Amino acid sequence: MKQPSPILLVAAAEFELAALRDSLQKSLREDIDYAMVGIGAIHAAKNAERVAEKARGRKVIFVGTAGIFGKFSTVKLMCARQVLWMPACERANIAYSIPGLHPPIDLPAPPSWVADLELATVVCGPTISKTALLSTELPEKLQQPVVENLELYSCIAEIMASAQETVILLGITNAIGPDAHQQWKKNHPLAAKLTAEYCVSHMKESRP
């Protein structure tokens, strides 16, 4: 029986990792497995257990896109270091969650092959924010940089618990605000391309 690839690519949707999968298959000369958690927090939660089982004992690269709170100038890659559940209503201080119900998820220090990437705190919620307001309760040390992604909080704890190693690469495609969707539409193909190029060029010395 053919052994599965030690690498598992995970994303919300296939278009986010297609370029990376194809590039790694050419570079490593083997088939690269992948799994989708689905788009949005609810789909990611529903699929978390299935994807975590597929990730068992493997090196996972979770790829996706994110908007940044603050100035956006160009598409770049960041590596997630902490993930928070903090919907826009909480960040705008018009709602609150039960204390301790959604604890922060601290991610292990990323492996050496992504050491040159800037680390980010990722806030998640059920919807895409149209305002860049951040809660005053967010610790000051986390406020730069802070990015938004829909799926991570709903699935990453299960995946990390199962995987041998988990790296989360996010292409920053837009600023949080009213123009976010148009910026994302324009920039997400470039984010996918940059992710593929980065992984192929940086993973050679860390070949599992």
Residue 73's CB is within 10 A of a number of other CB atoms, namely 8
Whether the ω angle into residue 145 lies within 30 degrees of 0, i.e. cis, is yes
Report if residue 179 sits inside a domain: yes
pLDDT in tens, 142-162: 546 999 999 999 999 999 999
Report if residue 194 sits inside a domain: yes
- As a whole number, the mean pLDDT across the chain is 91
Angle, helices 152-162 vs 41-54, to 10°: value is 10
Give just the sign of the alpha carbon dihedral 169, 121, 124, 57: positive
Are 142 and 80 in contact, with CB atoms under 8 Å apart?
A: no
Range 72-91 average pLDDT: 93
Report if residue 46 sits inside a domain: yes
CATH of the domain at 36: 3.40.50.1580
Report if residue 98 sits inside a domain: yes
Report if residue 1 sits inside a domain: no
pTM of the predicted structure, to 2 decimals: 0.92
pLDDT in tens, 13-64: 999 999 999 999 999 888 899 999 999 999 999 999 999 999 999 999 999 9
Count of domains observed in the chain: 1
Q: d(Cα 78, Cα 120) in Å, to the nearest integer? A: 6
Report if residue 2 sits inside a domain: no
Please give the full DSSP string across 56-110, using - where no structure is assigned: TTSEEEEEEEEEESS---S-EEEEEEEEEE--HHHHTTS--PPTTSS--EEPPPP
Are 194 and 77 in contact, with CB atoms under 8 Å apart?
A: yes
Are 90 and 98 in contact, with CB atoms under 8 Å apart?
A: no
Q: Which domain holds residue 117?
A: 7-206
